[in-house]
Amino acid sequence: MTGPGWRIARSPWRLGLLAGVIAAVLAGAVVAVGAAGGPPALTGGYGAYEPLSEPQPAPSTAFLDPDGRPIKLDAYRGGYVLLNVWATWCAPCVKELPSLDRLQAALGGDRFRVQLLSVDRKGLELAGPFLTKLGIRNLRTAADPKSELARALGTAGLPTSVLIDPEGRIVGRMLGDAEWDSPAAKALILHYLNRPEAA
């Protein structure tokens, strides 16, 4: 074999240089992954998932469950909850609802659930039928018609998704819509579910 690639490979200094470059790239990748040590990246329409360096207690502000009964976030302790703050008038919210529905279908269970929280002023009267009309089958929405919980969560815009751990602590948040049933989103959720303390 006498092609150019073979001549490069047979040249000792070029082979050494090539091996050095490959080793440096691989070492850099390992360092980057090790240094981060956090969840996989997930980007969306105008934001990215941001893990908290220190988990924060979720607020104890009351809201209405899907049946209209007062409830607090501590009722969901024992599993991870992806709390999605949304509204019917918010186009990016509506855009991501089907992917949240598919995420619930794929990963929802005792250890993880998606929980919608509508901030529509008309509450469940408007938001519930809206989801039905949109074809959402695996999710029901809670309601926060006065946006009290949304404010307590520090929601800066819609949609906002907040990940809460089994102990009732916020471990990360994302401002903006995302493809929640994408491989990246599933990897993000599984990162938390596969932690030893989550087992």
* The predicted structure's pLDDT at residue 199: 54
Where residue 118 falls (left for φ over 0; alpha for ψ -120 to 50; beta otherwise) is beta
Output DSSP code: residue 48: B
- State residue 17 phi and psi, 5-degree precision: -65, -45
Mean pLDDT across the chain: 85
Proportion of the chain above pLDDT 90, given as a percent: 77
Q: Taking a C-beta distance cutoff of 8 angstroms, is the pair 177, 159 a contact?
A: yes
Q: Taking a C-beta distance cutoff of 8 angstroms, is the pair 193, 111 a contact?
A: yes
28 vs 65, higher pLDDT = 65
Model pTM score? 0.81
State pLDDT tens for residues 38-90. 899 999 988 899 999 999 999 999 999 999 999 999 999 999 999 999 999 99
* The predicted structure's pLDDT at residue 198: 56
The neighbouring-strand residues paired with 142 are 117
Q: Could you give the dihedral angle defined by the CA atoms of residues 168, 170, 172 and 173, in that order, rounded to the nearest 10 degrees?
A: 110
pLDDT band at 146 (very low <50, low <70, confident <90, very high): very high
20 vs 60, higher pLDDT = 60
* The predicted structure's pLDDT at residue 195: 87
**How much is the CA Rg of the chain, to the nearest whole Å?**
22
Question: Edge-to-edge, what's the strand order for the sheet holding 112-118?
Answer: 50-57, 169-175, 160-164, 80-86, 112-118, 141-143, 63-64, 70-71
State pLDDT tens for residues 104-127. 999 999 999 999 999 999 999 999
Give me the mean pLDDT over the 82-102 stretch: 98
Rounded to the nearest 5 percent, the helix, strand and coil shares of the chain are: 40, 20, 35
